[in-house]
A and B are shown apart, each in its own frame.
Chain A
Amino acid sequence: MLTDLILSFFITTMNVVLISLITLGVIGAVAAIILFVVAKKFHVFEDPRIDEVEAALPAANCGGCGFPGCRGFADACVKSDELGDLFCPVGGNDTMAKVAAILGKTAVAQAPKVAVVRCDGTCEHRPRYNEYDGVKHCFIAHNLYSGETNCSWGCLGFGDCELSCEFDAIKVNPVTMIPEVDDDKCTACGACVRACPKLLIELRKKGPKGRRIYVGCRNEDKGHITKKACDVGCIGCAKCFKVCPHEAITVGNNLAFINDEACKLCRKCVEVCPTNAIKEINFPPRKVKEEEAVAAE
Chain B
Amino acid sequence: MEKLIISPAPHIHSGDSVSKNMYGVVIAMVPALLASLYFFGLGALIVTLTAVAASVLFEFLIQKYILKGPVTILDGSAAVTGLLLAFNLPSNLPLWMIIVGALVAIGVAKMSFGGLGNNPFNPALVGRVFLLISFPVEMTTWPVVDPLATTYLDAETGATVLGILKEGSASLPAVSDMIVGNIPGSLGEVSAIALLVGLGYMLIRKIITWHIPVSILLTVAVFTGILYLADPATYASPLVHLFSGGLMLGAIFMATDYVTSPMTFRGMWIYGVGIGLLTVIIRTWGAYPEGVSFAILIMNGFTPIINFYVKPKRFGEKPKKA
- Direct contact between A and B in the complex (CB less than 8 angstroms)? yes
Most buried by A among B4, B5, B7: B7
> Complex: how many Å from CA A219 to CA B6?
22
Please tell me which stretch of A8-16, A81-89, A124-132, A264-272 contacts chain B, meaning at least 4 of its Cβ atoms lie within 8 angstroms of it.
Answer: A124-132
What 1/0 flags go to B1-25 for Cβ under 8 Å of A? 0011111100000000000000000
Please tell me the number of chain B residues within 8 Å of chain A, measured between CB atoms. Answer: 6
* Neighbouring A residues of B4 by C-beta, 8 Å: 130-131
Taking the closest CB of chain A, its distance from the CB of B38, in whole angstroms, is: 50
A140 interfacial by beta-carbon distance below 8 Å: yes
In the complex, the chain B residue whose C-beta lies closest to that of A143 is: B8
> Complex: how many Å from CA A31 to CA B8?
59
In the complex, the chain B residue whose C-beta lies closest to that of A144 is: B8
> Complex: how many Å from CA A286 to CA B8?
47
A134 interfacial by beta-carbon distance below 8 Å: yes
Q: Is the CB of B7 within 8 A of A133?
A: yes
In the complex, the chain A residue whose C-beta lies closest to that of B9 is: A144
What 1/0 flags go to B163-180 for Cβ under 8 Å of A? 000000000000000000
* Neighbouring B residues of A135 by C-beta, 8 Å: 8
A145 interfacial by beta-carbon distance below 8 Å: yes
* Neighbouring A residues of B6 by C-beta, 8 Å: 130-134, 144-145, 148
Q: Is the CB of A134 within 8 A of B8?
A: yes
* Neighbouring B residues of A140 by C-beta, 8 Å: 8
In the complex, the chain B residue whose C-beta lies closest to that of A133 is: B7
Select B5's contact among A128, A130, A144, beta carbons within 8 Å.
A130
In the complex, the chain A residue whose C-beta lies closest to that of B1 is: A131
Taking the closest CB of chain B, its distance from the CB of A141, in whole angstroms, is: 9
* Neighbouring A residues of B8 by C-beta, 8 Å: 134-135, 140, 144
* Neighbouring A residues of B7 by C-beta, 8 Å: 132-134, 144
> Complex: how many Å from CA A144 to CA B5?
13
> Complex: how many Å from CA A69 to CA B273?
46
* Neighbouring A residues of B3 by C-beta, 8 Å: 128-131
* Neighbouring A residues of B5 by C-beta, 8 Å: 130-133
Taking the closest CB of chain B, its distance from the CB of A223, in whole angstroms, is: 26
Q: Which residues of B does A touch, CB under 8 Å?
A: 3-8
